Copies of this chain bind each other. A is one copy, B any other.
């Protein structure tokens, strides 16, 4: 996205805006000039279920309800005077709030949002919209804010896109699986994948095609090679859906930059793939960690936050083959259970038909609280809040990286930091520039007892896993808990080993989002001590 002198955003795919002033202009300007091209016809990607959905006949009747003078005995809604809630009130931070990460005391002031059943004449929205059945499309002002946010930050490179509110990304991803996938098909994923994302489609009889990754996530060369080598006779239908977490991938912590995205997108066009971009950590994109410089603990958001982030696949999407899953769970609160889809209008219409029978609409309480918060903050205020939030997590990332650096001797090697003990490699990782996780490779092959333990027999993989598990248990005994790497192994079908370790290597995931600085430091110290004892 670049910004024209008149402050209108246009998509050109370079993924940068010129600082906050320009962003402010973009956000406050009229809607950006839309891209002119339309999405290509992707209806062949729809599942049989998605193709079979029909609008409810009850919708037809709505047009008649609005005829002048009509008395409707057709509705069937409960009477809003009988909802016993009189008011709803919340207090939300000013979007400019900067907390001390080490001691995050809530500010004494805040923005009060009061919603009452009789606040002012004609204000019936609390009863008749927020508390009533209100339609699968979600509250219109909220949907419009989600659309404005997308248009301002990362407008798709085609014209006929739309948004649809959902109940958070778990809900969203299940809806996408139902929209696109059939039993016997295979979804393209990264080499490691969040287990709950897999659990949405494995029971549906859908498998993974894991693609090798590097520090930016999925490798386009490996993707093309896997698809070129695809054998429909033995592997089933050619994959047509790709699931990606492009920023702060869970568990890999990798973030994909614009050039890599263009390559992946080109492959998606070539092989006719739909890219599902699950992007909960989009707003958590950090400056690179500098192992030699002291970390800034002030958490003051930079003025040019948005100029540095890698933008959505949407800005490269000339054909309408990206479905973006955006959520407020990481930026505001998971308890809201609200996110939104961005996709071509054909997919959005099918998702709306699905939503009507899948869960009707998100909570009215959540929708009104979110909608009023965004209305008070404005799109610009929301981005300001996210810039501050990003810094909070940047500081937390630095706490953990600093602790790793001080407990284990780290040596940079390309993008990777390597810890050695007595000249033996122990641990390596790429310091993340997004998200909440550090993905660590454990070099068991340099452990003094490893080779003898695993041997070279046919049970080698079992012995490797046994060794890895024993190591993880030693961490538990030392009272530091890490997430085992094998939790994230993609399911490739029956008979394929449930571990995709490189021989001699193991993995675990560290999260820096939640624990205090002191606990992170103590946790990493315990981890380092176990490693020192083991690799000594």
Using a CB–CB distance below 8 Å, which chain A residues touch chain B? 48-50, 52-54, 56-58, 61, 64-65, 67, 69-79, 81-93, 95, 97, 99, 104, 106, 110, 117-118, 130-134, 167-168, 170-171, 174, 195-196, 199-200, 202-205, 250, 329-330, 332-338, 356-366, 369, 373, 385, 389, 392-393, 396, 400, 436-437, 476, 479-484, 487, 509-515, 519-520, 522-524, 526-527
Asked if B82 and A92 sit within 8 Å, CB to CB, the answer is no
User: Top 9 nearest A-B pairs by Cβ distance?
Assistant: A335-B364, A363-B363, A52-B203, A81-B104, A71-B523, A131-B335, A84-B93, A171-B359, A131-B333
Given known pairs A57-B487, A86-B91, the reply for A513 and B335 (CB within 8 Å) is no
Given known pairs A335-B364, A365-B335, the reply for A74 and B358 (CB within 8 Å) is no
Q: Which residues of B contact A357 (CB under 8 A)?
A: 170, 174, 196, 199-200
Q: Which residues of B contact A58 (CB under 8 A)?
A: 195-196, 483, 487
Q: Which residues of B contact A479 (CB under 8 A)?
A: 67, 69-71
Given known pairs A76-B250, A85-B90, A86-B91, the reply for A71 and B358 (CB within 8 Å) is no
> In the complex the two chains form, what is the Cα distance from A50 to B332 in whole Å?
33
Q: Which residues of B contact A91 (CB under 8 A)?
A: 85-87
Asked if B74 and A86 sit within 8 Å, CB to CB, the answer is no
Question: What is the count of identical protomers in the complex?
Answer: 2
Asked if A203 and B49 sit within 8 Å, CB to CB, the answer is yes
Q: Which residues of B contact A196 (CB under 8 A)?
A: 56, 58, 356-357
Asked if A511 and B366 sit within 8 Å, CB to CB, the answer is no
Asked if A71 and B515 sit within 8 Å, CB to CB, the answer is yes
Given known pairs A333-B131, A436-B76, the reply for A199 and B56 (CB within 8 Å) is yes
> In the complex the two chains form, what is the Cα distance from A330 to B80 in whole Å?
10
Given known pairs A479-B67, A481-B71, the reply for A364 and B79 (CB within 8 Å) is no
Asked if B333 and A76 sit within 8 Å, CB to CB, the answer is no
Q: Give the Cβ gap from A370 to chain B, nearest Cβ, in Å.
A: 9
Asked if A363 and B362 sit within 8 Å, CB to CB, the answer is yes
Q: Which residues of B contact A396 (CB under 8 A)?
A: 79
Which of A84, A93, A195, A373 has the most chain B CB atoms closer than 10 A to its own CB?
A84
Q: Give the Cβ gap from A198 to chain B, nearest Cβ, in Å.
A: 9
